[in-house]
Amino acid sequence: MIGVLIVSHGRLAEGMKDSIQMIMGEVEQVSTIGLFTDTDLEQFKDEIKNEILKLDTGDGVLVFVDLFGASPANFVASNIQELVGEGTNLRIITGVNLGMLIECMGTRTFETDLDKIYLTSMNAGKDGIHELIDFMSNSDEDDD
């Protein structure tokens, strides 16, 4: 099974995992790491690497990060070369949202191709973003 790591500022990652479990029940091979104001940055980098290695049971790891270009994403990125060099199959998606995580959890129960799971998850995240009033108005027009 593809491992999943969610990395964020504060407790966002933990909250997302809690929300997934509220909707889908217990999930396996999913970890979270949060960056806090008092976090030792070298330890944070090491924790990310160690967690990815722990989650990789051979099918790869999909890492979700809250913000592109922010510290959590940069620390994930700082581990890429070493992890890939060691043979870790890894994909990283920034801008995580609950829709993409739920899609990932469902898809990885029957799909083992990391590239397919990451593309499906990323598309679900994008497809789930709407301005609700406009979306509902357009939906009502389609019903006419």
pLDDT of residue 143: 64
Tokens 């998606």 label which residue?
93
Residues of the domain holding 79: 3-143
Question: Which pair of tokens denotes residue 42?
Answer: 């070298």
Tokens 């581990």 label which residue?
79
- Whole-number mean pLDDT of the chain? 95
* Contact between residue 80 and residue 92 where contact means Cβ atoms under 8 Å apart: yes
Q: How many domains does the chain have?
A: 1
d(CA 55, CA 33): 13
CATH number of residue 35's parent domain: 3.40.50.510
C-alpha 63: how far from its chain's center?
Answer: 5
* Contact between residue 3 and residue 29 where contact means Cβ atoms under 8 Å apart: yes
pLDDT of residue 135: 84
Q: pLDDT of 19-71, one tens digit each? A: 999 999 999 999 999 999 999 999 999 999 999 999 999 999 999 999 999 99
pTM confidence score = 0.93
